[in-house]
Amino acid sequence: MADLYLPGGRLADRIELTGLTATGYHGVFDEERRDGQEFTVDVILHTSTSRAGASDELAQTINYADAADHVIEIVTGEPVDLIETLAERIADRMLGTGALAVDVTVHKPSAPIPHAFTDVTVTIRRLGELLRPPKPAADVVVGIGSNLDDPVTQVEVGAGKLARVLEYEQMSRTRVTAAEVAPGMPSQPNYVNAVMVGKTTLSPLALLAELQRIEDEQGRIREEVWGPRTLDLDLISYKVADREVLSDNPDLTLPHPRAHMRSFVMEPWAEVDPWGKLRGKRIR
């Protein structure tokens, strides 16, 4: 159960807490509620540790001591009948730490079973919002940009591929925009920009993997942030049942953190979706 492959094929990194033990008062029987017993919990947090590994900063990862505190708080907290419920509560809390997915095993080695046995466990895996297929289909906004190797054709071909990934899609007109470059960086050729809105049943990370596949197919080389590019597809906004999915995960930040400052995104978006909203505010 431990391996989790992310959309795009990469194996997720793991932070594992094993054998966390405390007395709890969970169980169906009165004696269990009265006397309590030991519960042991194993947790696997599926995440990406590469930024923390490179920067050596605790803020870039999930603090395992905080995760352990949460688990103990739930085990020693409000009693429930079933270890299934306990596992569900722990998984839910662990997803709140920013993990992409979690595996939780709850052990109840002193369970009231009138036979010789060593342990009884429940193990569950729960996916966070970035990995969960949406229900109903999500409304998404994708920014398209190119300023290398015949940008008009790059945008046209990229949009054609994107249209096969999305449903009920609608594309803005393309426009030529002056390149916004990072401070101190050399100027760049003009961009061709457009926005496509549509629906998807892909999870946010699965959609991002599709966007990156299309970028890669069009010869995108990722070297310089804000560098010139053959094709750039940014996931601007992802809404399920009108609720915007929010994420501060650097691998997929939602809504896109710079979109609201970019007229080359907001103008074409307003053209195809005049009632559109970003962080609850009308876009025009």
Ligand X SMILES: Nc1nc2c(c(=O)[nH]1)N=C(CO)CN2
Ligand Y SMILES: Nc1ncnc2c1ncn2[C@@H]1O[C@H](COP(=O)(O)OP(=O)(O)OP(=O)(O)O)[C@@H](O)[C@H]1O
Cα torsion 197, 198, 200, 204 to 10°: value is: 10
CA distance 91 to 99: 10
Kindly write out the interface string for residues 198-227 of this chain, putting x where it contacts ligand Y by CB under 6 A and - elsewhere: ----------x-------------x--xx-
Residues written for the chain: 284
Burial 66-75 (b: 16+ CB within 10 A, else e): ebeebbbebb
Among 35, 92, 150, 180, which residue sits at the site for ligand X (rule: CB under 6 A)? 180
Among 32, 139, 169, 232, which residue sits at the site for ligand Y (rule: CB under 6 A)? 232
CA distance 139 to 143: 14
Among 48, 177, 200, 247, which residue sits at the site for ligand X (rule: CB under 6 A)? 177
Residues 244-273 contacting ligand X, CB under 6 A: 264
The span of 79-87, 151-159, 177-185, 271-279 binding ligand X (CB under 6 A) equals 177-185
Among 103, 232, 271, 273, which residue sits at the site for ligand X (rule: CB under 6 A)? 232
Size of the site for ligand X (CB under 6 A): 10
Kindly write out the interface string for residues 156-195 of this chain, putting x where it contacts ligand Y by CB under 6 A and - elsewhere: ----------------------------------------
Which CA distances in Å does 23 have to 40, 107, 108? 9, 12, 10
Q: Please, how many CA atoms are within 13 Å of residue 245, restricted to the half-sphere of its CB? A: 28
List interacting residues with ligand X (CB under 6 A).
145, 177-180, 191, 193, 226, 232, 264
